[in-house]
Amino acid sequence: MKMNQPAFGYIDDENLVRITGKFHGGVAVFLKNCANTISKPSGDKVFNYIFGDEKSLDYDTCSEVTGSGKECNDALVKYAAEGPMFKANYDFYLKRAMTLYNICLAVFMD
């Protein structure tokens, strides 16, 4: 089952209104900038890998994930995992995100 959630790559001004209730100023801008470094197709794959049932990653997705950097990846996952739908399994999602990032790094180390 694919999750019908917005991709990381599309935190727009409407979504920032929700963010600013929890995050202020620079953090909200940082999240938006991070999200905008990942395309919608790759963002959807990342989201579904971490929060859904996606089992594989492709080269282009890994390229975007590693290109955005670990700090951005971690911040976006933490933001999503703190939501009411995922909060109960917060630690699981952070570990899943770390696994995804390490898999993507390994793609470029070979």
pLDDT reported for residue 94: 96
The C-alpha atoms of residue 53 and residue 39 are separated, in whole angstroms, by 20
pLDDT reported for residue 27: 80
Query: With contact defined as beta carbons under 8 Å apart, do 23 and 16 qualify?
Result: no
Angle between helices 59-68 and 40-51 (to 10 degrees): 90
- Overall average pLDDT of the 2-14 stretch: 46
The C-alpha atoms of residue 95 and residue 99 are separated, in whole angstroms, by 6
Angle between helices 70-81 and 59-68 (to 10 degrees): 100
Any idea which residue has 């990032």 for tokens? Answer: 101
- Overall average pLDDT of the 10-14 stretch: 49
pLDDT band at 5 (very low <50, low <70, confident <90, very high): very low
Q: What is the pTM (predicted TM-score) of this model? A: 0.75
60's tokens: 């282009």
pLDDT band at 26 (very low <50, low <70, confident <90, very high): confident
pLDDT reported for residue 3: 44
pLDDT in tens, 43-100: 999 999 999 998 889 999 999 999 999 999 999 999 999 989 999 999 999 999 999 9
